[in-house]
Structure 1
Amino acid sequence: MSDPQHDLDQLRQQVARLDREILEKISERLRTSRLIGEAKRKAQLPIRDFRVEASVMQRARQSARELGFDPALAESVLESLIEAAVQTQVAHQPVHHKGEHHRILIAGGSGRMGAWLRQFLQGQGHTVASCDPSGGEFSSLQAASAEKWDVVVLSTPLASLPETLGQALKLEGQPLIFDIGSLKSHLVADLQKAAAEGHRVTSVHPMFAPGTVVLTGRSVLVCDAGNARATEQACDLFRETAVSLCPVPLEQHDQVMGGLLGLSHTINLLFGQALCQLGLSFEKLGPIASTTFAKQAKTAAEVAAENPELYHQIQNLNQCTPQVYQALQASLERLREAALAPEAEPFLELMGECRGYFFPSS
């Protein structure tokens, strides 16, 4: 009769050998990635090729299905490997760009999204500088005005975007100007006025976090302000990537964000606040969590760890926030009444409506 402890030790040794083999393959992959970077340099190609990355992710998902494990795990592993490969290539190779070369200035380039955008644009072969009082080549737009810029990206805090736009419009040479703000209401009038005066202005909104490495399946919202040519030029900066460019009317952007950002942030903050008021310790709930609780808690914890000033502005500056809260309050009251009603029909009806929203064809 075999010894269970001996069998366990043998299996753990086998896992250790497999771990070593995996790490050796990762090392080999990184060495190969460095060679790819050298080949790109000789061919004067940009470091990032998002179409290739999309193909890599698709291949990983398919391989995972064939091998019988979760494709999400394959995606997570490949995302880390792609990030490491890009860092290796950037560290060892200068960047060249085969297409049109732009001099790009990012106002607010030291912020998280500004820093991400700088790395992204440099990876595409552009010359990028930062304008930021907390760090960068220039402390202000005025300090950067002595040089000529093809593109100026506005990545300053939401509340200061109108002022930053006004300063950017004073730059010589009629550069392409666009913001990447998550709210637009307070910019609509200024953007449309600038476009009517002949300035090359538009507005975009990357719908992903600044830590994003693989752009497969990500979206960039594109909000034309009245200068179609400027919008096309801004789109060109993202067009050769794996992102989806999604046009959204500028005047409707914040209504959409009321649901996508405002409501989702509110739900997750309410989840955390309700747990606090119930006096339920997260340390005690975590180990016994249900699947639904674990998923919700993970998202709520991520929201709670974000920049509170930014999240306040997303709520405070959106003119549609009162409508979101009214809808939320009405929904909560209806849910309360349905849950406490002795008969099940109101609750079943409510869940049926929710199911119909998410699965309209079922």
Structure 2
Amino acid sequence: MKPLEDLRARLDVLDRKLLEIVAERQALGAEIDAVKRATGQSTRDFGREREVLLRARVDARDLGVAPALAETLLRSLIRGSLTTQEQARVAAQGAGTGRSALVIGGRGKMGRWMADFLASQGFRLTIADPAGAVPGYEWLADWHESALDHDLIVVATPLRIANELLVALAARRPRGLIFDLGSLKTPLLTGLAALREAGCSVTSVHPMFGPDTELLSGRHVIFVDLGHGGALDQARGLFASTMAELVVMELEEHDRLIAFVLGLSHALNIAFFTALAESGEAVPRLARMS
């Protein structure tokens, strides 16, 4: 019988080889995406994904590997490949090449996501946030210090201060596209209206995902139509090369639907905790089992 350490050393070698194969697969995926872009094909091919997964299950049985394990592994690899391809496609589009963007509140989680997303398109980024600088980007502690001569201004601040900020922006009439990232729009009515009345290029955006999201396939980005078609088209264009579902709706419709989405999740939590409280079960014991 071979010593345990020798067997573990062999596992380490195999793990390294697996990662080398994954890297090779990712590189090949990037080449495939370049061909797709050149021939006008979409990034995702669900039929092809199905073929890969079915073949993986068959091959796994032949090799004595659990088919479910093989499918899980291949799904992860496909997702990684799609993420790489989507990011390459966004970068290749170069929508921000030669253009500048200001992200107010860019130190926050969604602000940082948006800053990185815009930078990947070639935008020259400035972050305005009193919380501090973000490595790799120009920084202002106070957005009022900016000349506001950017091609794009994103308001990614907490909702409680966003409306006042939009009103202040309207007073200075920036020339570039302006949009917020708020999850609710009614609290921003005054600020959005002020920008519209000031003749600014304004719309409103709601990314329906969190800041840890890498792959936008299956995700939704909502664009609120404020009556400025050019602004709406520009904002949508920023996401055109992704696989996200782009949805346009009116402000009132947005908040009504989002109220249902948020309300249902809260209702489920309330129902769960009510049932737990009335069950008489000891929470510490349940926690150990969860």
TM-score relative to the length of structure 2: 0.73
Distance in structure 2 (CA, Å) of the matches to 1:257 and 1:118: 25
Give the AA of the match of 1:142. Answer: H
Distance in structure 2 (CA, Å) of the matches to 1:58 and 1:135: 46
Classify the secondary structure of the residue corresponding to 2:161. Answer: helix
Aligned-pair CA distance for 1:81: 6.6
User: Residues 263 and 35 from structure 1, CA distance in 2 versus in 1: closer, same or farther, beyond 3 angstroms?
Assistant: closer
Aligned-pair CA distance for 1:34: 7.1
Give the aligned partner of residue 26 of structure 1: 19
The answer to whether the 8 A contact 1:218-1:244 is kept is yes
The answer to whether the 8 A contact 1:235-1:245 is kept is yes
Classify the secondary structure of the residue corresponding to 1:186. Answer: helix
Classify the secondary structure of the residue corresponding to 1:178. Answer: strand
Distance in structure 2 (CA, Å) of the matches to 1:58 and 1:18: 34
Give the AA of the match of 2:23. Answer: L
The answer to whether the 8 A contact 1:152-1:168 is kept is no
Give the aligned partner of residue 52 of structure 2: 63
Give the AA of the match of 1:109. Answer: G
Give the AA of the match of 1:67. Answer: A
Aligned-pair CA distance for 1:79: 3.8
Give the aligned partner of residue 117 of structure 1: 114
Give the AA of the match of 1:178. Answer: F
Size of the aligned set, in residue pairs, is 259
Distance in structure 2 (CA, Å) of the matches to 1:127 and 1:158: 26
Give the aligned partner of residue 178 of structure 1: 179
Give the AA of the match of 1:268. Answer: N
Give the AA of the match of 1:162. Answer: N
Give the aligned partner of residue 170 of structure 2: 169
The answer to whether the 8 A contact 1:148-1:172 is kept is no
Give the AA of the match of 2:53. Answer: A
Q: Deviations over 1:230-263 (max 9, x none)?
A: 1111111111111111112111211101111232
Superposed, 1:40-59 pairs within 5 Å as: 52=43, 54-55=44-45, 59=48
Question: Structure 1 residue aligned with 2:141, among 113, 118, 139?
Answer: 139
Give the aligned partner of residue 64 of structure 2: none
Give the aligned partner of residue 62 of structure 2: none
Aligned-pair CA distance for 1:286: 6.5
Give the AA of the match of 2:146. Answer: A
TM-score relative to the length of structure 1: 0.60
Give the aligned partner of residue 250 of structure 1: 251
Aligned-pair CA distance for 1:173: 4.2
Distance in structure 2 (CA, Å) of the matches to 1:171 and 1:96: 34
The answer to whether the 8 A contact 1:196-1:226 is kept is no
- Do structure 1's residue 267 and structure 2's residue 289 form an aligned pair? no
- Do structure 1's residue 188 and structure 2's residue 189 form an aligned pair? yes
Distance in structure 2 (CA, Å) of the matches to 1:192 and 1:141: 21
Classify the secondary structure of the residue corresponding to 2:186. Answer: coil
The answer to whether the 8 A contact 1:61-1:75 is kept is no
Classify the secondary structure of the residue corresponding to 1:187. Answer: helix
Superposed, 1:6-21 pairs within 5 Å as: 21=14
Distance in structure 2 (CA, Å) of the matches to 1:266 and 1:216: 28
The answer to whether the 8 A contact 2:154-2:181 is kept is yes
Classify the secondary structure of the residue corresponding to 1:29. Answer: helix
Give the aligned partner of residue 103 of structure 2: 106
Aligned-pair CA distance for 1:170: 3.8
Give the aligned partner of residue 136 of structure 2: none
Aligned-pair CA distance for 1:129: 1.8
Aligned-pair CA distance for 1:187: 1.5
| Structure 2 stretches lacking a partner, 5+ long | 2-6, 35-41, 58-66, 134-138
Distance in structure 1 (CA, Å) of the matches to 2:155 and 2:283: 39
Q: Percent identity?
A: 32
Aligned-pair CA distance for 1:213: 0.8
Q: Deviations over 1:311-346 (max 9, x none)?
A: xxxxxxxxxxxxxxxxxxxxxxxxxxxxxxxxxxxx
Classify the secondary structure of the residue corresponding to 1:177. Answer: strand
Classify the secondary structure of the residue corresponding to 1:209. Answer: coil
Give the aligned partner of residue 124 of structure 2: 127
User: Residues 195 and 257 from structure 1, CA distance in 2 versus in 1: closer, same or farther, beyond 3 angstroms?
Assistant: same
| Structure 1 stretches lacking a partner, 5+ long | 1-5, 7-12, 44-50, 290-362
Distance in structure 2 (CA, Å) of the matches to 1:272 and 1:23: 45
Aligned-pair CA distance for 1:169: 2.4
Give the AA of the match of 1:63. Answer: V
Give the AA of the match of 2:106. Answer: G
Superposed, 1:246-325 pairs within 5 Å as: 246-272=247-273, 274-276=275-277, 278-281=279-282, 284-285=285-286
